[in-house]
Amino acid sequence: MKSKIVTVAALALCVALSCPAELAAQRDEALSRLNDLSQYLEQLTRRVSPAVVAIMATGYTPLQQGDQPGTGLLTRRQVGGSGVILDPEGYILTNLHVVEGAGRIRVRLPIPTGESPGESILKPQGVIVGARIVGFDRETDMAVLKVEQTGLPYLELADSDEVITGQLVFAFGSPLGLENTVTMGIVSAVARQLRPEDPMIYIQTDAPINPGNSGGPLIDAEGRVVGINTLILSQSGGSEGLGFAAPSNIVRNVFQQIKMNGYVRRGTIGVNAQTISPTLAEGLGLAREWGVVLGDVYPRSPAELAGLRIGDIVLSLDGKVMENGRQFEVNIYRTPVGATVNLEVMRGGETVRTSVTVLEREDDPGRFSIMVSPEENLVPKLGILGVGLDQRIAAMIPGLRARQGVVVAARSPDAVYGRVALMPGDVIYSINGEPITRLDQLRSVLGSIQVGAPVVLQLERRGQLQFMAFEME
């Protein structure tokens, strides 16, 4: 494959210089190899395209304020994006921002066509089918969809640790709504961190990526998925050669967990692990200018109980040398909850070894917003969108004090009663002492309370029970 690509440059030079007779044989060989490369890329495209889908989503999404989540308010939107089939039983991976808050999701599945001579170059548009969200992960911006069709063409995930800068890659998807589009480029960087200490890293590529490519696969020369196209950096809004894809090894972990459990569990030991820079090392007088330092050890956390301290330099985790804070975090959250990790740290010139128990990390309380819509989940009297606390949702909120209630998924943009300070993630257990077990019951009880009468909610917020009192308006 590499030899085919190298000869392209030789061919271009030969044609430009109008090769003399003695170079004709070399020209013919270069043309033959170029033709072989072209045919290989055609075959690669035909093999990959049937597993790449177009996604159309309509619904509601949390209102954003810059780069930060808003106050839990929802806004209506229609979005188009891409996805890739990773399991023949109908499991599709895409970006969360493509389907977040969607009340209706449709997927266009390509129709396989033959390769008979004289076939039309205008391909069928594909079959549109409904899809549901199995689960999602906000940290990686990933979501898993399920369609009822089975026996579908699918793609394998590559080992993104083997991806190298300069490697040839292909972006598949539906940029700007143009379905079945493929672009070619190289890997510009293999571990791009867009913000300091960001837990997420990306493969950077100059393969043209535009709005609508989100959720589509970044493919290597073997036809395997090395990443999921997620975002671009652009001043014009179009492709400027700065595209970013979530690495396949991160994708694999998220996809498998969501497919199995419906959500992603991540471990924590209760520290803030930061990457050591030369400036930080000089300012704190650290013994080394690279690696990981503990910027914080949370009170009463497993790390504090194990004796870790602020300023400890992490030398290794389970025998693996720690080079940066992101590497440390990823290795922790991949560890099963309840297991222990072995740390070796440097403290004042001495080496300290300790074992720490891994707990499940608390997740984003706004993760429930994708499960609701104002048409079905609105509670007008409270100005919220709620969802009943079932077994699946309870598993997403470890340590709940009760197993029945209504979870606040988001605040309604049409809130009638704006003074009720409910927050996404709150769980309502009772109203004026009457237990609440279902969403329709919550609406009914609120509807029976007269204007001006007192209302007392019992709710749980971040593991703490409390009463919230107000007068009905």
Residue ranges of domains in the chain, CATH in brackets: 1-112+124-264 (2.40.10.120), 267-360 (2.30.42.10), 365-471 (2.30.42.10)
> At residue 245, does pLDDT exceed 60?
yes
Give the contacts of 387 (CB within 8 A, at least 6 positions apart).
Answer: 368, 371, 372, 377, 393, 406, 407, 409, 439
Average pLDDT over every residue of 135-142: 88
Nearest to 269 by CA among 365, 352, 343, 320: 343
Residues 352-403: tens digit of each pLDDT: 999 999 988 776 666 777 777 777 888 988 988 899 998 888 877 877 888 8
Per-residue confidence (pLDDT) for residue 369, from 0 to 100: 74
**Portion of the chain with pLDDT greater than 90, in percent:** 49
Mean predicted lDDT score pLDDT of the chain? 85
Per-residue confidence (pLDDT) for residue 469, from 0 to 100: 84
Average pLDDT over every residue of 404-421: 71
Residues 29-44: tens digit of each pLDDT: 888 888 988 999 999 9
> At residue 270, does pLDDT exceed 90?
yes
Task: Name the more confident of 196 and 117.
Answer: 196
Catalytic hit among 82, 97, 188, 248: 97
Average pLDDT over every residue of 52-69: 71
Catalytic hit among 82, 137, 141, 412: 141
Catalytic hit among 82, 174, 188, 214: 214
Known active-site residue 318: no
pTM of the model: 0.72
How crowded is the C-beta side of 346, counted as CA atoms within 13 Å? 14
Known active-site residue 141: yes
Q: Rounded distance, CA 432 to CA 364, Å?
A: 29
Please provide the distance, in angstroms rounded to a whole number, between the alpha carbons at the two ends of the chain: 72
Burial string for 263-278 (b: 16+ CB within 10 Å, else e) reads: bbebbbbbbebbbbee
Number of helices followed by number of strands (H, E) in the chain: 10, 28
Q: Rounded distance, CA 168 to CA 56, Å?
A: 29
Per-residue confidence (pLDDT) for residue 450, from 0 to 100: 92
Per-residue confidence (pLDDT) for residue 123, from 0 to 100: 67
Q: Rounded distance, CA 168 to CA 221, Å?
A: 7
Known active-site residue 214: yes
Nearest to 277 by CA among 287, 291, 263, 267: 291
Q: What angle do CA 316, 322, 325 make, to 5 degrees?
A: 130
> At residue 417, does pLDDT exceed 50?
no
> At residue 9, does pLDDT exceed 80?
no
Average pLDDT over every residue of 143-155: 95
The model's confidence at residue 416, banded by pLDDT at 50, 70 and 90, is very low
Residues 284-334: tens digit of each pLDDT: 999 889 999 999 999 999 999 999 999 999 999 999 999 988 889 888 877
- Taking CA atoms, 3 is separated from 13, 22, 245, in Å, by 16, 22, 27
Could you please report the per-residue DSSP string of 177-224?
G--SEEEEEEEEEEEE-SSTT-S--EEEE-S---TT-TTPEEE-TTS-
